[in-house]
Chain A
Amino acid sequence: MSILDASSSGEHVADAAQPRRGVQRLLAGNAVLVFAFLYLPILVLIVLSFNDNRIVGVWTEPSLRWYRDLVQDDAVIGALQNSLVVAAVSTVVSTILGTAAALSLERFRYRGQGFFDGLLYLPVIIPDVTMAVMMLLFFVQAFDLVAAAFGITPRLGLTSISLSHIAFNISFVAIVVRARLEGLDRSLEEAAADLYATNWQAFRRVTLPLIAPGVAGGALLALTLSLDDVVITSFVSGPGSTTLPVYVFGLVRRGVTPLINAVSVVMLVGSMVLVVASLLIQRQRAT
């Protein structure tokens, strides 16, 4: 992501930026508090998930019983599988479509770009609930049409969930890739053209490697948003096609149990591993 790029290009900040000692210490103290604020709930959850006691707040002794229960819980495993399938499909498709959209808008000029541009920004500002309503009504109408035309009524399931996720992810991927494209030095691509590269060759050997970190960042964002989504998925999923966050959300509304803590920790660790892995890969590519 471009923000990380900015940080590694820095010159040392002028001394004028450093305030007086007392203020300096306040700022540092504030920073520590913010980090504590960000990480405390996560750490508490992790600790509590190893608690043997059924009552969440009372610490008895460390145990793995909730994780053992978790592994044997078919509903959770099923929901996890659904989440992974939907996330994989929607990430791949939206990354391809989003990158294409970014290239089309940044490297070319044609009429109708303004409309495309505006349409691309809407999914970002639209709230989850509105999008959920949109998708539900769309599928209801679409299913009616298909039933009228072909006689069979499709049902809500993993397909409708994936299609909905792709719908909002395209924009997010496009934004990240466009930010990357904007910052690129076009002389490299022009140099490739001067050296008699065809458009496809120039794209494959110059542009694509240059935007690769942006594409990877966009893909990671799409993956995260898909795995995180609750509202949209719950509106367009059918019986048997629940995803993990929707399932956990249902559990939470019925009350806090230690099993949820264990599931949460698994989801947390999973997403953190993903992030760290992708950051490492990006650092490797950049060097």
Chain B
Amino acid sequence: MPTVTPPATTDDDATAPAPDAVRGGRGLEHAAERARARRGLLIGLPSLTYLVLLFAVPLGIVLVYSFATRSRTGRTILGEWSLDAYARLADGLVVEIFLRSLWLAVVATAVCLVIAYPFAYYLATRSPRVRGLLLVLVMIPFWSNFLVRTYAWRVLLGSDGPFLRLLESVGIGEMRLLFTPFAIVLGLVYGFLPFMILPLYASIERIDFSLVEAARDLYASGWQAFRRVTWPLSRPGVIAGSILVFIPSFGAYVTPEILGGSKTTMVGSYVVRQFLSSRDWPFGAAISFAILAVMLVAARLYFRSGGRNL
């Protein structure tokens, strides 16, 4: 973070008591610094106020709701507090949903890493002009509407879609691609692959390849040079990409709803169900908080392992 350094004082014996003139001068410096600090705070104040009002406060309200009780008709009674909602989190069904979401998110992250790493390496080792063009080509689908891109797979994997008809023509009929965990992971990978590609690319592109050259000079094979030089140096990108894919994958709602159907419930769909059909708001609030807790743990791990700002 850039720091504001006050100009150094020029008197030689800094230990002697400062004469009044210098003390007055330092007072002026401090006043200027305070004015500057105040200006900085003022500039950020509207944003800070907005975030406190429309983010921190709502978060607090969710916390409060998670301790409320649900009446038999589905309304939320704020006066009666209990830990029932949190106790339900230990239910077998809820734990199963959490674990399934965790597992699918981990699989999606792993698949993204395997696909994206060679791709990012290839990209990062092209000439600058080609690199720019290829990056733009990667970004264009990324910036396109997420819902539509997920929906496209619904069409592709459906019973009328090209993939199943291809499989039928080859002789493997009767297979279901849609509404399976496979479809969900495919949708997650498709949606979040660019989140893995970009940090990997940025990280690999920064590597000083003269180090690899030095390794080769010391008789390392290509594979050894990769394993001991390139891979460790690209780790920040690997970690950043993994977090950027894992977090939205774990809390995903649109992808499992469109591609997963009702058989494979993920945590996001479960929360929404509490608010739309089950009308159990306290429980929904408790689950939301639990999801947030998982995210915070993941983010903490990221920053702990030396991740830079996103």
Contacts and interface: CB of A to CB of B under 8 A. Distances in A.
Interface of A: 2-4, 6-10, 12-20, 23, 26-28, 30-31, 34-35, 37-42, 44-45, 48, 55-58, 97-98, 100-101, 103-112, 116, 119-130, 132-138, 141, 163-164, 166-167, 170-171, 174-175, 178-179, 186, 199, 220, 224, 227-228, 230-231, 235, 245, 248-249, 252-253, 256, 260-261, 264, 267-268, 271-272, 274-276, 279
Given A264-B148, A268-B148, A170 B253 contact: no
B54 A167 contact: yes
Given A19-B222, A125-B295, A41 B115 contact: no
Contacts of A268: 144-145, 148
Interface string B241-262: 0000001101111100110000
A111 B291 CA distance: 31
Contact of B213 (A14, A130, A136): A14
19 contacts: A10-B127, A16-B212, A19-B226, A42-B141, A42-B152, A101-B48, A106-B2, A108-B4, A108-B41, A119-B56, A127-B250, A134-B59, A141-B61, A167-B50, A167-B55, A175-B309, A224-B143, A228-B147, A275-B140
A110 B44 CA distance: 11
Interface residues of B, number: 110
B285 A133 contact: yes
Interface string B17-41: 0000000000000000000111111
Given A133-B284, A137-B285, A4 B135 contact: yes
Nearest to A164: B54
Given A30-B115, A44-B156, A127-B292, 18 more contacts: A10-B205, A13-B209, A17-B212, A31-B122, A41-B156, A42-B144, A44-B162, A48-B155, A110-B41, A128-B268, A137-B281, A138-B57, A179-B309, A231-B254, A249-B147, A267-B145, A268-B144, A271-B143
B275 interface: yes
Contacts of B119: 30-31, 34
